[in-house]
């Protein structure tokens, strides 16, 4: 199977990584080893190799899902290795935790987890090259300098390219990663510079990169029919009719299990081409067994939430001060009910995986965000050892959290084993939307009070979410520290749960993508109740302290948030421009994934209720170093547009236990013609650099909804935005 396009990293790699004390511990062993310089390529460690002509290959360890990590992680190494970026080719690693430690794309964690470690990888490689030069010239290594892939000895005038020293360097002992000297940021020549993604040319020219592009010798194609009601078993299927379609090789029932994150029940059809497999699938006439989830619906959830809001909560998650007394003493009070729907990930590349099972071993090509979890799931399901699975990570055509689950991987592996041939299993668009791990729906019944000076004195949220047996469903929870917790003296957060059989999971900025809409919209309501400017009101709510809570994810650096709120207001000209009738500006902020973001949206509402987003201003604080400004701006803009797209039209409705929406006709994505300009500003602060894949999304929907209120006086309390309610005809 080596001639499939998806090419992985060599298992001869010498750098070992593993988790230790919340970070990564890396250790080298570069003793001479057979093949270490095969075909003229010298390996300095698991990440860096060179050829005699000075060309550098740097491995990117994590999955590439469009976030630009195949560019930015190698940039970190290349900077400290001290070569020109033009000399560098990047290569996607295979799933290989023994070499690279944990490999995943999620939580905007790539930069914070790997910033220090990968700088040291590059610096260690540079130190080995310098040591090789020093030994060759018989001079102290401390007297040598490097620049652009060349080592210099100023006293003697000698110089040597990295390529000419590579073979010797690969035989030297590695330096201690903890003590290798790192560059002063003022000397950076790669980091902080605009670099296009390394795969851009291949993407726009249609070269094979993605899982959907994999081609293997003798490969067959498969589809997998699943029940409309999540997890229902097959009662009957016309396998003979499916097998009667030209090109269909096999059709068989997969019993599956009750765990929706694993192998679910369904019917597989295997054929010479995917279209033949799909035609065979259309002939199956599957009848599905009864399932308890078939009694559930969005309308039912809505009714249950309303009833639960009027009853005592399941439990109280936080209770500061005396909310009831503070509400009675408040100068103004506001009550409001907010809700948001299930939404799908809708990655443009549908779920797919290619697998080949032979002689008890499995080889997989998968566009996955979480490769090792997929390997373990497949191994458990097939009853084989994880060591007997080779896993190649392909580029993902979008992930957004959907590919953290690996149900499609285990389906392909099971079908390949039964088919006794390499198989590419590909979902339809309808499969993708109707069998997702959705962003969970939720309901918030809020009340708040402000005193005569415009200070928020009371806040109560009865959150009705999804879950059972006292346990909240995946990604359906809310932390007791969720803002404005800790910033309001009298604060109560109650929780009730609705049982649901709908599978849920993380979607870009999990939890925050919905919670920010609720919190920042209700804060806006309180601001208007207090007759206060929304920006000034938020700054007052943030107070004048530095950090609220403990450091890390649970800490809330109020001073950093104030900084981005002020910057967003300044850049947008907040309060300085007279806007035409029907146009308004809204503001929102949110802290998630260690990033501080504030956004201002200007939007216009036509007489027929149509909403047009005119412009978005974003202020972001993600620390002291932007690795790749091109990728960073791309991530922020993409996140904002993602959030606006969801707010403007995305909803998954459940009827009789099944998703109603099935394709982009009824689950619309924001089109290019409707995408507003998004102006991005980074506030550089002396804090460790953090990620950008997610934290820009949460403030976008509430900023838009607050802009609509400013334009029309009509408050949006439920998503997606109902333009019928905005009509002024």
pLDDT, tens digit, 9 for 90 and up, residues 69-100:
999 999 999 999 999 999 999 999 999 999 99
Separation of alpha carbons 351 and 368, rounded Å:
9
pLDDT, tens digit, 9 for 90 and up, residues 446-467:
999 999 999 999 999 999 999 9
Is the distance from CB of 133 to CB of 156 less than 8 angstroms? no
Element (H, E) at 186: none
Q: Which two tokens stand for residue 227?
A: 């029940």
Q: 200 in helix, strand or coil?
A: helix
Q: What is the DSSP letter of 38?
A: G
- 467: alpha, beta or left? (left if phi > 0; alpha if psi -120 to 50): left
| Nearest residue to 84 via CA among 56, 64, 59 | 56
In this predicted structure, what is the pLDDT of residue 7?
28
Compute the average pLDDT of residues 436-447.
98
Mean pLDDT rounded to a whole number for the chain:
93
In this predicted structure, what is the pLDDT of residue 720?
98
Q: Enumerate helices (H) and strands (E) in the chain, giving the number of each.
A: 17, 32
Separation of alpha carbons 498 and 6, rounded Å:
44
* Side-chain half-sphere exposure of 502, counting CA atoms within 13 A: 34
What is the percent of the chain where pLDDT is above 70?
94
In this predicted structure, what is the pLDDT of residue 549?
65
Distance between start and end Cα atoms, the chain: 64
Is the distance from CB of 450 to CB of 484 less than 8 angstroms? no
Burial class (CB in 10 A: 0-12, 13-18, 19+), 708: buried
Q: What is the DSSP letter of 718?
A: B
Q: 13 falls in which pLDDT band (50, 70, 90)?
A: very low
Upstream peptide bond of 464 is cis (omega within 30 degrees of 0):
no
C-alpha dihedral (474, 476, 481, 485), degrees to nearest 10: 180
In this predicted structure, what is the pLDDT of residue 40?
79
CA 127 from chain center: how many Å? 35
In this predicted structure, what is the pLDDT of residue 138?
98
For the chain, the C-alpha Rg in angstroms (whole number) is 28
Separation of alpha carbons 656 and 529, rounded Å:
41
Which of these CATH numbers, 3.40.50.2000, 3.30.420.10, 3.30.365.10, 3.30.2010.10, describes 16-190? 3.30.365.10
Q: Where in the chain is the domain with CATH 3.30.365.10?
A: 16-190, 211-291+351-426, 312-343+438-726
Compute the average pLDDT of residues 260-266.
96
Its CATH class, for the domain covering 211-291+351-426, is alpha beta
* Side-chain half-sphere exposure of 617, counting CA atoms within 13 A: 17
- Count of residues making up the chain: 729
Largest CA distance in the chain: 86
DSSP string, 395-448: BPS--TTGGGS-HHHHHHHHHHHHHTS-EEEE--HHHHHHS--BBPPEEEEEEE
What is the percent of the chain where pLDDT is above 90?
92
In this predicted structure, what is the pLDDT of residue 270?
98
Its CATH class, for the domain covering 312-343+438-726, is alpha beta
Q: 30 falls in which pLDDT band (50, 70, 90)?
A: very low
Q: 141 in helix, strand or coil?
A: helix
Inter-CA distances, 39 with 7, 92, 167, 519, Å: 17, 20, 12, 59
Separation of alpha carbons 206 and 184, rounded Å:
40
pLDDT at 550 over 60: no
pLDDT at 290 over 70: yes
Q: What is the DSSP letter of 342?
A: B
Compute the average pLDDT of residues 333-339.
98
Separation of alpha carbons 614 and 512, rounded Å:
24
Measured N-to-C along each axis, helices 110-137 and 69-81 cross at an angle, to the nearest 10 degrees, of: 30
| Nearest residue to 571 via CA among 608, 637, 617 | 617
């Amino acid at each position: 199977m080596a001639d499939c396009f998806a090419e992985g990293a060599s298992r001869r790699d010498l750098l070992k990584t593993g988790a230790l004390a919340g970070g990564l511990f890396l250790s080298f062993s570069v003793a001479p080893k057979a093949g270490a310089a095969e075909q003229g390529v010298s390996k300095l460690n698991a990440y860096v190799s060179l050829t005699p002509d000075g060309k550098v290959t740097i491995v990117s360890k994590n999955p590439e899902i469009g976030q630009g990590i195949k560019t930015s992680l190698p940039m970190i190494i290349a900077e400290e290795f001290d070569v020109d970026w033009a000399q560098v080719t990047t290569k996607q690693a295979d799933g290989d935790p023994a070499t690279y430690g944990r490999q995943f794309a999620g939580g905007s964690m790539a930069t914070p987890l790997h910033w220090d470690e990968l700088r040291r990888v590059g610096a260690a490689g540079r130190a080995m090259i310098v040591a090789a030069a020093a030994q060759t010239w018989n001079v102290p290594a401390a007297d040598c300098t490097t620049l652009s892939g060349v080592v210099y000895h100023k006293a003697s005038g000698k110089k040597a390219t990295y390529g000419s020293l590579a073979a010797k360097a690969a035989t030297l002992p590695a330096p201690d990663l903890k003590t290798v000297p790192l560059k002063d940021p003022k000397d950076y020549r790669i980091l902080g510079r605009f670099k296009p993604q390394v795969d851009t040319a291949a993407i726009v020219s249609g070269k094979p990169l993605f899982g959907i592009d994999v081609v293997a010798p003798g490969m067959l194609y498969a589809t997998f029919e699943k029940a409309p009601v999540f997890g229902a078993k097959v009662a009957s299927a016309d396998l003979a009719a499916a097998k009667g379609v030209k090109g269909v090789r096999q059709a068989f029932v997969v019993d599956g299990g009750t765990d929706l994150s694993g192998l679910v029940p369904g019917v597989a059809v295997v054929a010479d081409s995917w279209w033949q497999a799909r035609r065979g699938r259309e002939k199956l006439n599957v009848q599905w067994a009864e399932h308890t989830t078939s009694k559930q619906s969005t309308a039912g959830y809505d009714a249950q939430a309303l009833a639960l809001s009027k009853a005592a909560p399941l439990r109280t998650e936080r209770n500061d001060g005396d909310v009831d007394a503070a509400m009675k003493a408040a100068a103004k009070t506001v009550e409001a009910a907010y809700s948001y729907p299930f939404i799908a990930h809708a990655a443009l590349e549908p779920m797919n995986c290619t697998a080949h099972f032979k002689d008890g071993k499995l080889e997989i090509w998968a566009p996955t965000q979480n490769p090792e979890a997929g390997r373990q799931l497949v191994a458990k399901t097939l009853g084989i050892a994880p060591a007997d699975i080779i896993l190649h990570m392909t580029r993902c055509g979008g992930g957004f959290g959907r590919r953290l689950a690996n149900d499609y991987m285990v389906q392909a592996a099971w079908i390949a084993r039964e088919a006794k041939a390499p198989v590419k299993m590909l979902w339809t668009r309808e499969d993708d939307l109707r069998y997702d791990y959705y962003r969970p729906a939720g309901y918030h019944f809020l009340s708040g009070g402000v005193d005569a000076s415009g200070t928020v004195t009371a806040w109560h949220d009865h959150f009705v979410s999804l879950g059972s047996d006292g346990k909240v469903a995946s990604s359906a929870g809310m932390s007791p520290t969720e803002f404005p917790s800790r910033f309001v003296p009298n604060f109560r957060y109650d929780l009730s749960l609705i049982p649901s059989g709908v599978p849920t999971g993380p979607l870009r900025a999990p939890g925050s993508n919905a919670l920010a809409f609720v919190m920042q919209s209700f804060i806006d309501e309180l601001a208007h109740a207090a007759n206060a400017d929304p920006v000034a009101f938020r700054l007052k709510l943030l107070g004048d302290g530095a950090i609220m809570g403990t450091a890390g994810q649970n800490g809330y650096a109020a001073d950093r948030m104030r900084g981005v709120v002020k910057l967003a207001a300044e850049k947008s000209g907040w309060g300085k421009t007279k806007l035409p009738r029907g146009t308004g500006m809204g503001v929102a902020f949110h802290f998630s994934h260690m990033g501080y973001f504030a956004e201002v949206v200007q939007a216009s509402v036509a007489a027929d209720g149509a909403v047009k987003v005119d412009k978005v201003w974003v202020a972001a604080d993600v620390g002291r170093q932007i690795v790749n400004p091109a990728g960073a701006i791309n991530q922020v803009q993409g996140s904002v547009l993602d959030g606006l797209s969801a707010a403007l039209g995305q909803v998954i409705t459940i009827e009789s236990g099944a998703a109603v929406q099935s394709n982009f006709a009824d689950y619309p994505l924001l089109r290019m013609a409707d995408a507003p300009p998004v102006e991005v500003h980074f506030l550089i602060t002396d804090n460790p650099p953090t990620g950008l894949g997610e934290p820009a999304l949460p403030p976008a929907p509430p900023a838009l909804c607050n802009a609509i209120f400013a334009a029309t006086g009509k408050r949006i309390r439920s998503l997606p935005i109902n333009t019928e309610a905005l009509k002024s005809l």
